[in-house]
Chain A
Amino acid sequence: MAPSRRSDTGPSLGSRRLRALFLDLLDRSPTAAEREHWRGRDAHELLDTLTASLEFWENWLERELYYFLLVVSFRPTSERVLEIPSELAGGHIGVREALRRIALSPSFDRRNPGADTFCTVMLEQFLGIVVQEKPRLLESAKRLYDGRSGKFLGGSGRSQADVVRLVIDDPGTLRFYLARLHRSFLRTEAPERELRRLSERLAEGHGALRSILREWGRSDAYEARLDSRRPLSNRAFTRSLFVDLTDALPSPEEEQRMRAALDGLANPGPLRAVVARLLLDSGTTRIPARDAIEDPRAWIRELFDHLLTRQPTEAELDAFVSSLADPACRPETVVYAILSDPAYPTW
């Protein structure tokens, strides 16, 4: 992925920041070529490049579909939804319109059948409203959904489509969306005033989300966020594992199957390790053969830097190098030891 333009000067990209930005924006780790290209370059340049890419918007849609649980058999197939990433990337539509298309898709309707479920989900997931605390609001929405005239969120309507329109056009929808994004990107709660200001920006311009992310990525809050580590989602874990081991993303089918397998467990940690071993032993990875490793210390240092985004301690390096020197130890097992470190599935 080539850089777009140099807008200002940011910190130099070390492995930690590089991996974090890729995961924050694309839900995957960087490929070998991307690491090679970006290491030591300007972090702001990478931020601008990633947020301008089609892949960023494709990932945006995937995250939103997962948020609305529109996955597997409920995954939308309509062109109106599938075109969202390219239209967002091209600046033809904004976030509000993208959310509207999702809510109007037949998949969303199938996923949330009936007045109660549909209206509850609209209020809870788009506006962050706890319907148990606002039963009359829910009843108003259900009235419209059932085809009866009425007032809802300050507007009038009498159809399911009107429920969607009034929710999506409500200023609270973009505020709530930004609150979710802030929580995920900066790992803190956004002040209400800030949300109000930014949601107005988001409502005005189709390119506003990109500029907001670029601001956040340059902020002190992002620097603070880099000091924290959080567990990867199963999707991000799967995608990163494939990139780290095979230098390519899994196919959509592989990604879906692995995510479904991991999502089925309350604690997917051990099963993630099993997945890593399956992949390592499958013969599809780019792990070099023992004889091809000319400098074991350098190779292990590079593995730590790439997978754990830190350098090994001397004790770690000694343990790993001496283990690799043993004829019983395959390079895959060295990689596996690092992949099963609790820090690997975090970012």
Chain B
Amino acid sequence: MQTHIPPRSPDRRSLLRLGAGAALLAPLPRIWTPRPGPGKTRRVILVAFAGGVRTRETLGTPGNVPNLMRMAREGVVFPRVRTENLGHFGAAMTLFTGISEARGIRDNARGGDPTVFEYVRKELGWPADQVWISTSGGAQQANYSYSLHPDYGEAYGANTLDGDGVFNAEFRSIVDAYGKPKELSPREAELLARMRAALLAGREEDSQEDAASFARVESFLFDELRNGTADLRGAGAADAKALRVARNLMAVFRPGLLGVVLQRADVAHGSYNAYVEVIRRNDAMLGELFDAVRKDPELADSTAIFVVPEFGRDKDLNVRRGLDHGDGSDDLRRVAMVAWGPDFRRGAEVLEDVRSIDLCPTVCELLGARARHSRGRRLRQLFA
């Protein structure tokens, strides 16, 4: 498990002010609640279903993506999202900046345009622990977290976690040293709950709610310890881990903005079958994330989810029976986006063209910020 929290040396002054000495004295922070935007949406999960994914293998083959279809039935589908083939890195970056970002395929540098993470953190004054990005790994993907724009940049960046998650290297070494905790039998868990209830009896309602929230997170952490991302192996494991980490982040931190970047579908260059397998697996993990949001009353009423590839793939198979990306076809340049959330229409399909650069300003506006440098426009079709 490799963590990049944060992916950079934290600003020393900030650390000094916010952490360290102050932390020795400050009360434990309660779970932070983002400031509401114009509607009910207070949290956004933006899944870059990237690596190059055609609509044919997603909405065009519902059996591959039952969870995405569930989301689509309860949300809004945009089957004609225009993208540009700017390389995986640049095209995925475009989703976060709202500006077409031409980047070399092996480019490994931060962009000059502010990202959605920077907009919301700067404009809404969100603390660092409210903006995260979970990636499937690789040095390039750390660059999505913030730009080099002089008015934004590192101070407003997202925390970055790769596929290994909430339990950082230090914590894993503790687990290695002491072993995993024993699983409580249902009866013992019941007795534990009884003892805890006795401890809480007569306390204020806030304490009861805090305890309930604590127990939920605790339960999640134990589950994660026992069934963490280490069990995810095989084709597309890195993507699956990124989605599992995203689910974990939602449960533990309830962030205001969470980006997820996948990329393993690019295995398609060499194998169509492996590509489909990655899509199916990612859909299964997306389902876990979706269910985690839906089953949590607070998250269900306040969280919007967007799922969109950065671009598609070629119309026809290559000589290796794989799929490249470069023929300029509609399969490549148009992808499908699914949006689900408390402010969106349900079961709607938008047949007109929209653009992938429209996502960044839409997310910003949902949360109450403005993507000042984005060239995209708000997706008004989301709303009734």
A residues apposed to B, CB below 8 Å = 63, 66-67, 69, 112, 117, 120-121, 124-125, 180, 183-184, 187, 230-231, 233-234, 254, 257-258, 260-261, 263-271, 273-275, 277-282, 284, 315-316, 318-320, 323, 326, 328-330, 333-334, 336-338, 340-342, 345
A-contact 0/1 string along B9-41, CB 8 Å cutoff? 000110110011101111111111000000000
Q: A66-B21, A340-B196 are in contact. List 11 more A-B contacts (CB 8 A).
A: A69-B15, A254-B177, A258-B174, A261-B170, A274-B181, A277-B181, A278-B178, A281-B179, A284-B178, A315-B198, A316-B199
- A75 CA to B88 CA, complexed, in Å: 41
B residues apposed to A, CB below 8 Å = 3, 5, 12-13, 15-16, 19-21, 23-32, 127, 129, 166-168, 170-171, 173-175, 177-182, 184-185, 187-188, 191-192, 194-199, 201, 207, 210-211, 214, 217-218, 221-222, 225, 252-253
B174-A69 in contact (CB<8A): no
Given contacts A264-B170, A269-B214, A274-B181, contact A69 B175 (CB under 8 A): no
Chain B residue at minimal CB-CB distance from A308: B199
- A66 CA to B211 CA, complexed, in Å: 30
- A315 CA to B202 CA, complexed, in Å: 11
A69-B16 in contact (CB<8A): yes
What are the 3 closest A-B residue pairs judged by CB atoms, nearest first? Answer: A319-B198, A266-B129, A261-B171
Chain A residues near B5 (CB-CB < 8 A): 264
- A304 CA to B30 CA, complexed, in Å: 25
A342-B129 in contact (CB<8A): no
What is the CB-to-nearest-CB distance from A60 to chain B, in angstroms, rounded to a whole number? Answer: 13
B28-A184 in contact (CB<8A): no
Chain A residues near B167 (CB-CB < 8 A): 261
B20-A69 in contact (CB<8A): yes
Query: Out of A69, A231, A260, A323, which one reaches B12, CB within 8 Å?
Result: A69
What is the CB-to-nearest-CB distance from B12 to chain A, in angstroms, rounded to a whole number? Answer: 7
What is the CB-to-nearest-CB distance from B217 to chain A, in angstroms, rounded to a whole number? Answer: 4
12 CB-based A-B contacts, threshold 8 Å: A120-B13, A234-B23, A257-B171, A261-B168, A264-B170, A269-B28, A269-B217, A277-B222, A278-B178, A328-B191, A336-B192, A342-B211
Given contacts A183-B25, A273-B218, contact A258 B170 (CB under 8 A): yes
What is the CB-to-nearest-CB distance from A294 to chain B, in angstroms, rounded to a whole number? Answer: 21
A337-B25 in contact (CB<8A): no
Chain A residues near B177 (CB-CB < 8 A): 254
Query: Out of B129, B174, B180, B194, which one reaches A257, CB within 8 Å?
Result: B174
- A333 CA to B187 CA, complexed, in Å: 12
Chain B residues near A233 (CB-CB < 8 A): 23-24
A266-B29 in contact (CB<8A): yes
A326-B221 in contact (CB<8A): no
Interface centre among A263, A280, A284, A329 (most CB of B within 10 A): A329
Query: Out of B179, B192, B221, which one reaches A337, CB within 8 Å?
Result: B192
B191-A270 in contact (CB<8A): no
What is the CB-to-nearest-CB distance from B56 to chain A, in angstroms, rounded to a whole number? Answer: 42
Query: Out of B25, B184, B192, which one reaches A184, CB within 8 Å?
Result: B25
Chain A residue at minimal CB-CB distance from B220: A270
A270-B181 in contact (CB<8A): no
Chain B residues near A63 (CB-CB < 8 A): 24
Chain B residues near A273 (CB-CB < 8 A): 214, 218, 221
What is the CB-to-nearest-CB distance from A347 to chain B, in angstroms, rounded to a whole number? Answer: 12
Query: Out of B13, B27, B221, which one reaches A274, CB within 8 Å?
Result: B221
What is the CB-to-nearest-CB distance from A257 to chain B, in angstroms, rounded to a whole number? Answer: 5
- A263 CA to B22 CA, complexed, in Å: 13
A337-B196 in contact (CB<8A): yes
Given contacts A258-B170, A258-B174, contact A264 B3 (CB under 8 A): yes
B20-A67 in contact (CB<8A): yes
- A270 CA to B171 CA, complexed, in Å: 13
What is the CB-to-nearest-CB distance from A315 to chain B, in angstroms, rounded to a whole number? Answer: 6
Chain B residues near A277 (CB-CB < 8 A): 181, 222
B20-A341 in contact (CB<8A): no
B174-A125 in contact (CB<8A): no
Chain B residue at minimal CB-CB distance from A304: B199
Query: Out of B25, B188, B222, which one reaches A328, CB within 8 Å?
Result: B188
Query: Out of A281, A282, A329, which one reaches B188, CB within 8 Å?
Result: A329
- A264 CA to B217 CA, complexed, in Å: 16
- A5 CA to B195 CA, complexed, in Å: 43
Chain A residue at minimal CB-CB distance from B19: A263
Chain A residues near B184 (CB-CB < 8 A): 333
